[in-house]
Amino acid sequence: MNNTELDLNRLATMDAAQATRLLHKVREETLAGRTPPVAPRRVIDASWQRMFRLGLKPDQGTSSVLLRRDELEERRRTTVLGEVMRTLSAGLARIADASMQMMVVTDEHGRVLWREGNLSVMRQAHGICLEEGAAWSESDTGTNAVGTALAMGRAVQVHSAEHYVQQLHNWTCAAAPVHDPRDQRLLGIVDVSGPASSFHPTTLALVASVAQLAEAEMRQRHLRSIERLRSVAAPILCRVGGRAIAVDPHGWTAAVTGMAPVDRLALPKSFRAGRVWLPSLGMCAVEPLPGGWLLRVDDEPPTADPASGAASRVVLDLSRPRRWTVAVSGAAGSWSQELSPRHAELLYVLALHPEGRTAADLAEDVFGDRTRTVTVRAEMSRVRRNLAGVLAHRPYRFSEEVEVVLHRPAHPAELLPQSTAPAVVAARSGMSA
């Protein structure tokens, strides 16, 4: 193999014994700090580096303390993944059974909630603690498809000696994250695992497709719930004077009156009935509706001090590997929201440049292409829907009167790990402060 990086598609065409020897050689040389005959795949090399920093030992076991049965059942009952298990089973479990593999579904922490598939393989899986209630994050079991997909936020395949822990070298696995389409929150991982002899490079595409199918089913369920909320809210809004909006628990709009419609409002985590200040609407009276909330905007004139409700502090938290938030606080209260990967990149760049960035600057920072200003303006328009009170434009920047606090990961290499934005890549490599 003359390519500079290991290619699983080409590996699959090789003699099985030869492929196994190559994988072990690549791992042995890389972990010893020497130059391997073929470079490990970048996703695997990055994971191995994380294992070094965590201090995990290649010869450690994969056993973990299992969840108690009542806790396992509680996690199953409260996760949205339970609603799409029939889809996941139909798409993967029977195929896994026929191909001498098993399907595994975990929560967002890598705890195994369900597993189905070939009975013989599931018995073998007890030997590596791949069973219900077990922990399969990278910090628990090293480089593996479930844990690495959690760390990277994308579909990952890990084969044989690509696993960091030697006990897993006789296994192959492919996993993909499943997100809640309502708020893009990570729900968990769907995975297909089996003996290394069952490896096929197309398994990853199959798992990723079924994960997307599950997300599409959840999206349709959400649309139906919005329609139900709209049927309840519409006659109420007809009787409400002034500005009002009906939203579901995630902030998605079902009906609106007296104001321009928006797709979604950012709601604080502790949202409840009463008077609540929202940055995009101001002070609101909040009342519960079946399946959502009614928000009536307080249109009373401002107090003598028009700046009394102004935001004064923004905390951008990028310290975690796959969940990023922005929190805004001021005299009127505080709120926070989770960020998409793209919005996290944009706000990170703006936090580094208090003097501001033009659309062309941001296009260079995020895409490495100064001509992609239309895309940047569209994304910044979406960001400013919820952060208009703290973000200025021409150029884009945080307002001068706002204190900006940036929380980064303990290790620079863990900053927005899936990002390919030049500004972020430079920061991860230590080229930027």
pLDDT at residue 307, as a whole number: 41
pLDDT at residue 353, as a whole number: 94
Q: What is the pLDDT of residues 212-236, one digit of tens each?
A: 999 999 999 999 999 999 999 999 9
pLDDT at residue 337, as a whole number: 81
Q: Rounded to an integer, what distance in angstroms lies between the CA atom of residue 318 and that of residue 408?
A: 5
Contacts of 52 (CB under 8 A, 6+ apart): none
Question: pTM score, two decimals?
Answer: 0.71
Q: Which of 140, 79, 116 is nearest to 193 (CA)?
A: 116
pLDDT at residue 271, as a whole number: 80
* Segments in the chain below pLDDT 50: 1-2, 301-309, 332, 432-433
pLDDT at residue 255, as a whole number: 96
Q: What is the pLDDT of residues 266-323, one digit of tens each?
A: 888 778 778 888 888 889 998 888 889 999 998 764 443 434 445 678 999 999 888 8
- Integer CA distances (angstroms), 44 to 51, 110, 138, 283, 428, in order: 11, 18, 12, 49, 17
Counts of helices then strands in the chain (DSSP H, E): 14, 16
H or E element at residue 316: strand 311-317
pLDDT at residue 308, as a whole number: 42
Instruction: Please identify which residue in the block is written with the tokens 């099985």.
Output: 16
Q: What is the pLDDT of residues 123-142, one digit of tens each?
A: 999 999 999 999 999 999 99
Structure tokens at 109: 């922490």
